[in-house]
């Protein structure tokens, strides 16, 4: 089925596979910030956004990181500590996310310094009216496919604010784009299932709920897998990270029934703490026969950024193929739009 290009084109109406195949291009975008970009003294950073719009910040906290406390808020309100020495970055691809707009108003009321990442809507209008520092994202059909452009926009803002721990990160992002382009080639729909690991894993997952585990370094990629499984494949999925997993959820796998309706995927990285790497091995041994044997995805790449990008992109392809196996168009998220309308009724 997944080697039938006619079937793929029929089901993938909005060409989600074509969009994720070109995602490395987003890392090469050169953003020109508008508005007030002469930031003052900054003691901490708060990034506010929901869903895919928050993912860029999760990736950024892992790589490259910043030299200030950095919190990601997915809520209507900001922490009490936010004030004039806080940089609040409000991100919404649509520009109409109600939680983000509420948090933006809270930031303004607290006198915080403000920057905006958006593709339009009310957030862009507010940014222009208040002269906030702003990066405008290029048009992409679904926010979850625009993660890397949001990531590059965030990098640009923090670089402008002088908050990057390493001033070579822009060049590193460009190099990582070349790496990602090369590896994506092996997951394209034109590559037969026998040579295509993304198609193969999708076939293993079909019909069961996906549980993704990772260490702290790869957890942003694991969370992206969860979102992609939810929105691309319309499958329920869960994620958790080690070592926290071994203090509670680990026990949850230890009882019957053995034949649980789940598929487990471990996202492993050579950059994780050695004790985290050992935890994966010990967990697999102690839970052998008590849960489905995990499908181990070893992150590829010589740098942490390359491994994050590789693992995240691999998940995009796996979950889109999972949608196609289920006869589902991966791009639309009609129920989310219906939910938003129902909130306003």
As a 3-state breakdown, the chain gives helix, strand, coil percent values, each rounded to 5, of 50, 15, 35
231 is catalytic: yes
- Which is the catalytic residue, given 247, 302, 341, 345? 247
Q: Report whether 64 contacts 165 (CB < 8 A).
A: yes
With the C-alpha atoms ordered 18, 19, 21, 26, is the resulting torsion angle positive or negative? positive
Can you tell me whether residue 189 is helix, strand or coil? coil
Classify residue 243 by burial, with Cβ atoms within 10 Å: 0-12, 13-18, 19+: middle
Place of tokens 């625009």: 146
As a whole number of angstroms, the distance between CA 33 and CA 92 comes to: 16
Sorted by sequence, the CB contacts under 8 Å of residue 209 that are 6+ apart come out as: 235, 236, 237, 238, 261, 262, 263
User: How many Å apart are CA 338 and CA 157, to the nearest integer?
Assistant: 33
- Is there a catalytic annotation at residue 235? no
| Residue 295: strand pairing partners | 265
3-class DSSP state of 246? helix
Known active-site residue 340: yes
Among residues 273, 278, 338, 340, the one annotated as catalytic is 340
Read off the DSSP letter of residue 327: T
Cβ-contact 318, 198 below 8 angstroms: yes
User: What is the separation, in whole angstroms, between the first and last Cα of the chain?
Assistant: 42
For the sheet containing 86-92, what is the strand order?
Answer: 70-73, 44-48, 86-92, 113-118, 133-136
Name the active-site residue from 99, 126, 231, 306. 231
Sign of CA dihedral 202, 204, 209, 213: negative
Residue 85: DSSP 8-state: T
Catalytic residue numbers, as ranges: 231, 247, 340
């Amino acid at each position: 089925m997944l080697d039938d290009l006619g079937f793929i084109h029929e089901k993938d109406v909005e060409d989600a596979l074509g969009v994720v195949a070109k995602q490395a291009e987003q890392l090469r975008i050169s953003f020109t910030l508008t508005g007030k970009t002469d930031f003052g003294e900054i003691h901490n950073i708060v990034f506010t956004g929901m869903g895919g719009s928050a993912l860029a910040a999760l990736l950024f906290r892992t790589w490259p990181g910043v030299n200030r406390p950095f919190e990601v808020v997915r809520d209507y309100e900001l922490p009490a500590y936010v004030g004039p020495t806080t940089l609040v970055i409000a991100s919404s691809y649509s520009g109409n996310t109600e939680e983000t707009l509420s948090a933006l108003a809270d930031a303004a009321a607290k006198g915080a310094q403000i920057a905006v990442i958006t593709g339009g809507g009310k957030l862009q209008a507010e940014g222009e009216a208040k002269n906030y520092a702003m990066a405008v994202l290029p048009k992409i059909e679904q926010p979850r496919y625009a993660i890397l452009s949001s990531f590059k926009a965030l990098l640009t803002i923090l670089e402008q604010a002088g908050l990057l721990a390493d001033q070579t990160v822009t060049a590193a992002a460009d190099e990582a784009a070349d790496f990602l382009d090369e590896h994506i080639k092996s997951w394209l729909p034109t590559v037969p299932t026998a040579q295509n690991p993304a198609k193969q894993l999708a076939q293993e997952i079909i019909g069961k709920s996906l549980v993704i585990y990772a260490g702290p370094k790869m957890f942003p990629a694991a969370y992206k897998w969860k979102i992609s499984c939810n929105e691309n494949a319309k499958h329920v999925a869960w994620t958790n990270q080690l070592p926290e997993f071994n203090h509670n959820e680990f026990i949850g796998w230890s009882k019957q029934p053995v034949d649980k309706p789940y598929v487990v995927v471990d996202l492993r990285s050579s950059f994780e703490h050695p004790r985290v790497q050992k935890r994966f091995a010990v967990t697999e041994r102690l839970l052998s026969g008590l849960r489905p044997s995990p499908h181990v995805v070893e992150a590829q790449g010589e740098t942490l950024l390359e491994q994050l990008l590789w693992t995240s992109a691999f998940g995009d392809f796996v979950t889109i193929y999972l949608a196609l196996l289920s006869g589902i168009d991966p791009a639309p998220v009609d129920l989310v739009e219906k939910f938003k309308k129902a909130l306003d009724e």
